[in-house]
Amino acid sequence: MQTKNIRHLSREEISAELTSLGEPAFRAKQIWQWLWEKNASGFEEMSNLPKGLRDKLAENFSIFKITIQSKQVSSDGTIKLGFTLYDGEIVEGVLIPADDRMTACISSQVGCSLSCSFCATASLPRKRNLYFDEIYDQVAIINKIALEHYSKKLSNIVFMGMGEPLLNYSNVIKGIERITADDGLGMAPKRITVSTAGIAKMIHKLADDDVKFNLALSLHAATDEKRDKIMAINETNNLAALKEALIYFHDKTGTRITLEYVMLSGYNDMKEDVVELVKFCRNVPSKVNLIEYNPIENGLFKKSSGNALHRFKDYLEDNHIIANIRRSRGEDIDAACGQLANKELAKAELADSLAQSK
């Protein structure tokens, strides 16, 4: 018999379930603390509950914790983790250590439905959305890894792993609520960045919901002609629509947007490209992260030269736009930006596809 995921119940719903089981409702507070503050993976861990109650909980409910399937440590200290979900699906997350911060890069979907030509995750079909508790678990586990390896807690979270966060809106929002809650992980919303390929109506919804976390747009080209070719989402969410949505977001929340721009040699790293980027930035209160392109299997692009990166940065700064260069981290273990593709899963998908075609 399939049992309920107890973490999908509110505290009030747990209280009602306890009453129906003939147990005192006050136990709901203790159970809630074990689930979210102490990150219990099983009811047997809940040591301040009577054994009879623990047995009843085990009979009627489940805790679908994600588990570590694989772990790789880069030469630069970056750690990539493969997470197994309750149904056997796998997603990846990354711990990125730096002197002044510990950042978790987490996933929001199994695979991705978008087909950005510079991103390895695009090679995987979207299987399903992650539930909010699976999003929460990634952060809790990566925080534990940060403490074990570096004796430091996580300071930042970026939704820049597998999937498009705004196509899993409700779970991402609820996951962030649990991550930032005092009876959760207690992280500050301003330490969290949600990155989107650009879905204008959902950016509007973020603004209307008055979110407190940061927003990043994966821009990567500042003309529709070039963006259409590398990001199919631009055909239904063009730059004019995104510009209007971003201005709306800033006006409602007061939060400046980060524009992510991966530098592709000979495609979007020339003088005319940075001129168009400046025009876009002048309309949208923003700062720019220039990102080194990370090679992927069967990729169409090459990394821009260091000179091109710095020319871009200098031109932006000369035009009074804040710009930073984001160096690759974890490239040797395919953990860098755009490389999360779960190669073993991709091989399995290919084998399955070939078998079905015979």
- The pair of three-digit structure tokens given for residue 41, joined into one six-digit string: 């993976």
Token pair of 84, please?
A: 């197994």
Does 337 participate in catalysis according to the annotation?
Answer: yes
The residue from 105, 116, 119, 337 that is catalytic is 337
C-beta neighbour count of 125 within 10 angstroms: 11
Q: What count of Cα atoms within 13 Å lies in the side-chain half-sphere of residue 196?
A: 24
Residue with tokens 């399937």: 69
The H or E element that residue 242 is part of is helix 239-253
Burial of residue 58, with CB atoms counted within 10 A of its CB: 0-12 exposed, 13-18 middle, 19 or more buried: middle
Give dist(CA 240, CA 266) in Å, integer.
25
- How far apart (Å, rounded) are the C-alpha atoms in residues 152 and 143? 8
For 102, the 3-state DSSP assignment is: strand
**Token pair in block for residue 288:** 């720019």
Placement of tokens 């079905």 in the chain: 356
Q: List helix spans (H) across 33-186.
A: 51-60, 132-150, 169-180
Catalytic residue from among 17, 23, 92, 292? 92
Instruction: Tell me if residue 117 falls in helix, strand or coil.
Output: coil
- Closest Cα to residue 74, out of 339, 351, 331, 283? 331
Residue 312 CA to residue 115 CA, distance in Å, equals 26
92 has catalytic annotation: yes
Q: Which residues are catalytic?
A: 92, 337
